[in-house]
A = this chain, B = another copy of it.
Amino acid sequence: MGYTVPPLENLIDKFESLPSIGRKSAQRIAFYILNMDIEQVRDFTKTMLDAKEQIHYCSVCQTLTDGERCSICANPNRDPKVICVVESAQDVMAFERTKEYNGTYHVLHGLISPIDGITPDQLKIKELLFRVTNDDVQEVIMATNPTVEGEATAMYISKLLKPFEIKVTRLAYGIPVGGSLEYADEVTLMRALEGRSEIK
C-alpha cells in the first residue's frame, strides 16, 4: 500500500481530463492549486461557473457571447451584408486576430459528418437561412476548414443558398505564408496553381 490522498488524486484526474494536459502537468497544476489561498481557489471556481452560466449563443450569428447579441453583431461599424460562415467560435477569434475583416460571422457549431452522426439539422444552418431571408445579405463567405467535412458542409450550404441569388465565396487555397513549397502536399500545390493570380 503506497501513498494515497484521494482528494488529490481526484484533482489530478480532473485536470488530466482536460485537453492538452498530460499526467505530469496535471500533477504540477494540482500541487499549484493546493498552494493557492482558499480565496484564490474560490475565485477560480467562480470564474469557471460564471463563464458556463453567462455565456450562450448570440441571437444573430450564434457565436459565444454573454449579451443578447455578440460584440460584433452589436457593432454598427461592422457590415451585416457580408457573412463569414465558420465552424466554431474559435474560428471567429482567429479571423478577428487579422483585424482586417469588417463583416459579420455565422457560427455553425460543427460540420456535417455522417460518420460521427452529425446531420445538417444539428448545425445552425436554419439560423443562417433566416438571416439570408430576412436581411439584405450580399455575400456569404464559406470559411469552414479545408477537410472532407468542411468541404461537404460548404457545398451543402452553397446549394441551399442558390435560390437566394447572393454571392457565395470560398476562402482561397494555397501555400501558407511563410510555408515551404518543399513540404506542401500535392493537393495544396495543385490548388495553389489553380488559384494563381497575375502579378500587376
Cβ of A31: which chain B residues have Cβ within 8 Å of it? 88-90
- Shortest C-beta distance, A70 to chain B (Å), equals 7
- Shortest C-beta distance, A99 to chain B (Å), equals 7
Contact count band on A: 35 or more
Number of copies of this kind of chain in the complex: 2
- Shortest C-beta distance, A76 to chain B (Å), equals 10
Residue A189 interfacial (CB < 8 Å): no
Residue A2 interfacial (CB < 8 Å): yes
Interface string of A1-45 (1 = CB under 8 A from B): 111111110110010001111001101111111101010011011
Q: Which residues of A contact B (CB under 8 A)?
A: 1-8, 10-11, 14, 18-21, 24-25, 27-34, 36, 38, 41-42, 44-45, 47-55, 63-66, 70-72, 75, 77, 88-90, 92-93, 96, 99
